[in-house]
Amino acid sequence: MANVSCVFCSIVAGDAPSSVVHEDDVSLAFMDLAPVSDGHTLIVPKAHYAGLEALPEDIGAHLWTVAHRIGRAVRRTPLRCEGVSLTLADGEAAGQDVFHVHLHVFPRYPGDSYRVHADWRQRERPDLDATAALVRAALLG
């Protein structure tokens, strides 16, 4: 079901312009309007899902399959591409700015503009085990 205020739903409906890379019954892939690098592609489900909580697993798996194919294809182009990043932000705190699930596929190379800043310090095993237990319990629920 489409969301009338969603730019990605407008693109899927053909009411907003896009540069399409791939389309099938479930998904649409198109060039990002503000790319990290040339070849930056967005993959969206055709149906509107605001975030991962609402996204059916089979549709999520399909998006990653399409991303895999596009990532391989980008490497075969003459575009500068020495690696590929796949990124999905779920929620405002994660940096999601359009609340329609979308997966980014973009070429990477040394010196490109993409950066992830985080506290990469190693954690202690008991802390990791406790966190793993919380996630395992949520998987069951």
How does pLDDT run across 117-127, given as a tens digit for each residue?
A: 888 899 999 99
Phi, psi of 107 (to 5 degrees): -65, 145
- The answer to whether residue 100 is catalytic is no
- The span from the CA of 54 to the CA of 99, in Å, is 11
- pTM for the full predicted model: 0.92
- The span from the CA of 19 to the CA of 40, in Å, is 11
Instruction: Say which of 40, 48, 102, 104 is annotated catalytic.
Output: 102
Does a structural domain hold residue 125? no
Identify the pLDDT of residue 125.
96
**Domains in the chain: how many in total?**
1
Does a structural domain hold residue 136? no
Residue 130 confidence class, pLDDT cut points 50, 70, 90: very high
Identify the pLDDT of residue 119.
87
Nearest partner of 46 among 21, 59, 63, 28, judged by Cα: 28
- The span from the CA of 32 to the CA of 46, in Å, is 16
Does a structural domain hold residue 96? yes
DSSP H helical ranges for 7-100: 7-13, 57-75
CB 67 within 8 A of CB 103: yes
**What sign does the CA torsion over 75, 80, 84, 90 have?**
negative
| Cβ-proximal residues to 77 (8 Å cutoff; 6+ apart), any chain | 39
CATH of the domain at 18: 3.30.428.10
How does pLDDT run across 87-127, given as a tens digit for each residue?
A: 999 999 999 999 999 999 999 999 998 988 888 899 999 99
CB 40 within 8 A of CB 107: yes
Could you tell me the residue range of the domain that residue 48 belongs to?
7-115
Does a structural domain hold residue 74? yes
